Structure 1
Amino acid sequence: MQNVTAVAHRGDPYRFRENTLDSLRSALALGADAVEIDVRLTRDGVPVLLHDETLRRLWAHDRPLRALSADEVRGLTRGAVPTLPEALLATEGSRVMIDLCGRVDRRSVERTLDVVRQCGAGDRVYYSAHAEAVLAVRAADPAAEIALTWTSLAPPRPAVLDAVRPRWLNYRFALVDRDLAARVHHGGYLLSVWTPDTRRSMRRLLDVGVDSITTNRVDVLTALRGEILRDGIELDGIVRGDMVRDDVVRGDVVRDAG
């Protein structure tokens, strides 16, 4: 359980605005193994970090991102919406899950992958999205690491899995139980879930055997993971101590019998 990958959803959004450099850095400082970021293209084809179609919720500008140039976005947000290269530089040395948002087409996928390559980050970036988007990723990069997002209890069709060739199957956390986890692992895939934010939900998912948890509360997850690791070490020490004592007792019995 202690080996579960802790993925920070949009960074550390309880402390900093989501998908900003401060949010990403904070998540990594809290012990995240990876950060999840949402990527969209501006009008002039620059990949930037934004989950929504517009700047309204986070930046109080009801302007569609696809209608704005990168310079216009920078001006409206005072430079606070990072470009993908800025985010990759800020997370250098750490894993990054890129969630491909919005209307994903071949151009946006290829542009995003090109930037990742140019930044020399191909070995630490992986991509999550629904089937249509990750099919475009697979077509653009046969070696890309993919987490296929799936929102149904019915398993992905074999034809989809054969075409996408994901490493991960990525489920909404409430769908996941022991049977689903066993099915995913039996198929040879790793199991990723999003986005449990309570300790109770995280503990349940660790108990059923998920491989990765994407959460808004990476501080809670890393603390829980640490507790489980410490408890496991303590339990192992107790068991080993009992075994040693049993060996000593058995030796005494043998000597007495002799």
Structure 2
Amino acid sequence: MTTLDHATVGPDHDVRAARTLPRLVARRGAPRVRREDTLPSIAVAEALGADVVEVDVRRTADGVAVLLHDETLGRLWGDPRRVAEVSWCEVARLGNGLDRIPRLDAVLERLDGCRAAVLLHVVDPADALVATRTVAASAWDTAVAWTGTSPALAAVRAALPTTDVWLPWESLDVPTAADVSGLRPSTLVLDDVFLTPDTVAAAHDLGLAVAVRTVDEPEPVRWAARTGADLVATEDVASVRAVLAGGERDGWALSERGPTEDEVGTRAQALAHRIAHEVIAFTREHPIGQVATKHGDGDPVTDVDRAVERLVRSRVRAAFPTHGFTGEEYGTAPGDRHHWWLDPVDGTTNLVNGVPWTAMSLCLTRAGQPLVGVVADPWRGEVLEARRGRGAVLRDTPLRLDDAPRPLAGAVVGAEFGGLGAWDGLGRLVVALAERSCAVRVMGSSTLTLAQVAAGRGVGGCVPSFDPVDHGAAVLLVHEAGGVVLTLDGPVDGFPRAGEPVLVAHPGAADELFTIWSSALGAR
């Protein structure tokens, strides 16, 4: 048994040398051609020229290492049981012909003498230990590397101290020597949403190769190559190889002309619309999962928050790989003068407690000016969207606030606490509005509190501190619907300054609301 050739993908590789094409990692073989994680799928990937074939390894009830991505046999093989509860004899009978679940030792034999190495993906430490015993006992000369969860890789490293490990890196923070010293990896594995020039440079400085996954579309492939990735993991080896060959032939430089603002706006608006509807379905259907806290007990984060942000980042990266991105959960990835701002779930406390009042906020800016914004309300199934200079719409119906006077009596104004408590002046605002028979609602999603005004639901809304992550899309919606956006200095066009108190209002109530709101904030 051998390990991967570190002269090309390991710490001895001079990743800062002249540009070479990224090597190709075929994820689960060739799943677009043959059933994933089977011998035919591996054979197709190897024939297409994959440098590395990544497969998923689990164990049967009697301790046989087999290829399977899922914990259960249901999705691919029609058996709802966990594979760890089923004997190899039963597993071997599933499927037909060559489309069956293979043993790991059969895969090692199949790739013996081939140019393609095998990358074993392990999730469970118990699965990893069974796989390490299989690899250690193998007589086949197949290059092997490992990747997966941290506990599983720790088990691999303990069992096989000199084996080749690829460390997943799920952060926009650059890796340090301390981060990688324990597992001693040869390669850093990045999801495409975490691929940045700074991370690649830091990995290379540590002597690590960089693999980016899962990249199937042309633009992200080119981005990965331009950024300096050493390996590209894909489910479509043939298409990615063609894109890389085209880049080698035609060069990797971006077009000197580049898209116009109108072209970017049109594409971004269509993308944001699709993302919003995808997020609505995901948020409604996905279990909340584990609930943790970020800055205190009153600041929860769930699996949904993280999953939605990764989904959105991936969609944006696929369409606009050079754009910057700031998200609530994973922070900032730098880019060109275009920048996206995302709050995947604004109102997470509501989500955790089963209150159907949350939203996704996604906004694109160009040189600091808002260009496109969407607010997705999963519980009404609504997408409010706006494009600078083109108006705002809800379900293809234009949103337009008239200039008719709106009395505060009988009206509703939205407010949000901001952070973990009420802001100074909120109580005075509530009292002043109550004296005018105007109701105040604190619903728990500042995105919706502001965005609802654009839809004519309430005469105003206020938040104590503007943040484009939470409020960028809603502010653009109000502007494009004809509403008024104010700070304590008066109306603003574009974004308020970060951290400023913000009031949005129906034009017919803006003056009176501003007087009351600013007085409440300024009172001592």
TM-score in same-fold range (> 0.5): yes
Aligned-partner Cα distance in 1 for 2:140–2:162: 13
Whether 1:95 and 2:117 are equivalent positions in the alignment is yes
2:244 matched residue in structure 1: 225
1:15 matched residue in structure 2: 33
Post-superposition CA distance 1:14-49 (Å, at most 9, x none): 111100111111111111111000000001110000
Shift of 1:120: 3.3
2:229 matched residue in structure 1: 210
Shift of 1:206: 0.5
Aligned-partner Cα distance in 2 for 1:219–1:45: 35
**AA paired with 1:76?**
L
Contact 1:39/1:50 (<8 A) preserved = yes
Shift of 1:159: 4.3
1:242 matched residue in structure 2: none
Instruction: Identify the match of residue 118 of structure 1 among 117, 137, 147.
Output: 137
Aligned-partner Cα distance in 1 for 2:146–2:157: 10
Aligned length: 229
Instruction: Name the structure with the higher strand share.
Output: 2
**AA paired with 2:57?**
V
Change (3 A) 1:184 1:157: closer
Equivalent position SS for 2:182: helix
**AA paired with 2:62?**
D
Contact 2:214/2:234 (<8 A) preserved = yes
Contact 1:131/1:160 (<8 A) preserved = no
Aligned-partner Cα distance in 1 for 2:141–2:58: 18
Equivalent position SS for 2:232: strand
**AA paired with 1:58?**
L
Change (3 A) 1:140 1:155: farther
Q: TM-score, normalised by structure 1?
A: 0.83
Contact 2:58/2:122 (<8 A) preserved = yes
For the aligned residues, what is the CA RMSD?
A: 1.8
**AA paired with 1:98?**
L
Aligned-partner Cα distance in 2 for 1:122–1:113: 15
Aligned-partner Cα distance in 2 for 1:113–1:17: 25
Post-superposition CA distance 1:221-252 (Å, at most 9, x none): 222233334446xxxxxxxxxxxxxxxxxxxx
Contact 1:32/1:222 (<8 A) preserved = no
Matches within 5 A, 1:38-187: 38-78=56-96, 80-92=100-112, 93=114, 94-101=116-123, 103-105=124-126, 108-121=127-140, 124-155=143-174, 158-187=177-206
Aligned-partner Cα distance in 2 for 1:157–1:207: 23
Aligned-partner Cα distance in 2 for 1:81–1:154: 38
**AA paired with 2:244?**
R
**AA paired with 1:6?**
L
Post-superposition CA distance 1:137-165 (Å, at most 9, x none): 11111111000112122345644421100
Bigger CA drift: 12-21 or 177-186? 177-186
Equivalent position SS for 1:36: strand
Q: Greater RCO between the two (CA within 8 Å, min separation 6)?
A: 1
Equivalent position SS for 1:77: coil
Contact 1:11/1:19 (<8 A) preserved = yes
Aligned-partner Cα distance in 1 for 2:247–2:136: 37
Aligned-partner Cα distance in 1 for 2:177–2:226: 28
Aligned-partner Cα distance in 2 for 1:89–1:227: 34
Stretches of structure 1 that go unaligned for 5 or more consecutive residues are 233-258
Shift of 1:181: 0.9
Aligned-partner Cα distance in 2 for 1:80–1:182: 42
Aligned-partner Cα distance in 1 for 2:85–2:64: 12
Shift of 1:50: 0.2
Shift of 1:54: 0.7
Instruction: Identify the match of residue 55 of structure 2 among 14, 18, 37.
Output: 37
Bigger CA drift: 78-87 or 9-18? 78-87
Shift of 1:3: 3.4
Whether 1:192 and 2:208 are equivalent positions in the alignment is no
Contact 1:2/1:225 (<8 A) preserved = no
1:249 matched residue in structure 2: none
Shift of 1:188: 1.7
Q: TM-score, normalised by structure 2?
A: 0.42
Change (3 A) 1:121 1:145: farther
1:243 matched residue in structure 2: none
